[in-house]
């Protein structure tokens, strides 16, 4: 898939105020500081489409971007650590839940995982919640440029092995790097295939 256009549409904290149309949506979510904004910019080929920050918890709204005028990329707040008040954290974690449970246009979610770390409890719990609620998702490992190939393979296998302790099959996964562009074509091809299914149904 070629990205010809990528434009910001709307930000809000109320799922009922998300775009009222039938355009398919692909949601990106991960623990705070996982490199989500950088990945979105890499995927779309736009340097500052999503705002990047060294401070965890920068994204605190549901952000919709229209890609090629036929699908939405949705940037969701990070879960877990963020330097915001407990009240604010509870509020935006609630609308994350609302988004996944109520948003019918959501075709697929991509859960971002920092490949440098061993399986984190918070990531495993979030994916468990997604599975229990039958929300389709894939894992996107980020920051692959920070590790050597053998370390990447070891850490990915560690995650898959951990998941298979409670899952029948592990979700599909992608290995990416925002700085090198690794995984971009694979992700876009995957979204393109799902869009073809959506538009032919």
**pLDDT, tens only, 21-38:** 999 999 999 998 899 999
| 8-state DSSP, 49 | S
CA quadruple 145, 147, 150, 153: dihedral positive or negative? negative
pLDDT digits (tens, 9 = 90+) for 106-137: 999 999 999 999 999 889 989 999 999 999 99
Residues paired with 7 in a beta bridge:
66
φ, ψ for residue 108, nearest 5 deg: -155, 150
**What fold does the segment set 6-200 form as a domain?**
Rossmann fold (3.40.50)
pTM of structure:
0.91
Where do the domains of the chain lie? 6-200
Measured distance CA(167)–CA(169) in Å, rounded: 5
């Amino acid at each position: 898939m070629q990205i010809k256009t990528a434009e910001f549409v709307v930000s809000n904290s109320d799922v009922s105020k998300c775009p009222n149309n039938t355009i398919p949506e692909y949601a990106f979510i991960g623990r705070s500081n996982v490199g989500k904004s950088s990945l979105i910019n890499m995927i779309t080929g736009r340097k500052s489409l999503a705002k990047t920050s060294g401070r965890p918890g920068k994204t605190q709204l549901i952000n919709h971007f229209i890609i090629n005028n036929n699908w939405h990329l949705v940037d969701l707040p990070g879960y877990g650590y963020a330097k915001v008040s407990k009240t604010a954290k509870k509020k935006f974690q609630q609308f994350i839940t609302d988004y996944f449970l109520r948003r019918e246009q959501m075709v697929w979610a991509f859960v971002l995982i920092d490949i440098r770390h061993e399986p984190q409890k918070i990531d495993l719990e979030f994916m468990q919640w997604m599975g229990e609620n039958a929300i389709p998702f894939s894992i996107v490992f980020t920051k692959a440029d920070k590790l050597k190939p053998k370390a990447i393979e070891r850490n990915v296998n560690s995650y898959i092995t951990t998941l298979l302790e409670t899952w029948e099959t592990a979700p599909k996964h992608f290995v990416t790097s925002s700085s090198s562009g690794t995984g971009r074509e694979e992700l876009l091809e995957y979204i393109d295939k799902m869009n073809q299914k959506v538009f032919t149904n």
